[in-house]
Amino acid sequence: MNIADGNIFEAMRLVLPEHRELMGELGRLTKNRQRPELADDEVAEFEYLWGEAWMGQGELEVTLFQSGDEHTICGIPLSYQPPLRLQSEHGCIMIALQDIIHVKRL
């Protein structure tokens, strides 16, 4: 932000060079994290893998996008209809369909 934006005090603040680099890197990381859009093929592949694992009690690795960050959960599908449930080592986890960004069979 600069003086032209209307914040005079922001322009006068002193910042050490190493802090400026860290602030810039943090800003880039948080600003650019948007929920990825899934193609129809990816959704179809996810549904196929989930159904196959659900019928055969196979294990899946599911990557979720929540709160601007990616989380990976491994487990066995317990349901095929939303809300999706996954039995992991931490117990039964309910997963919103819109949070899933990647599925891989283990």
Tens of pLDDT, residue by residue over 44-81, are 999 899 999 999 878 999 999 887 788 899 999 998 88
Band of residue 8 on the pLDDT scale cut at 50, 70, 90: low
Q: With 70 as the cut, is the pLDDT of residue 4 above it?
A: no
Q: Is 60 exposed, middle or buried (0-12, 13-18, 19+ CB in 10 A)?
A: buried
Are the CB atoms for 22 and 47 separated by under 8 Å? no
Q: Whole-prediction pTM value? A: 0.66
Q: Name all domains of the chain by residue range, CATH numbers in brackets.
A: 1-32 (no CATH), 40-105 (2.30.30.520)
Q: What are phi and psi of 54, to 5 degrees?
A: -65, -45
Per-residue pLDDT, 16: 78
The neighbour count for residue 82, using CB atoms within 10 Å, is 11
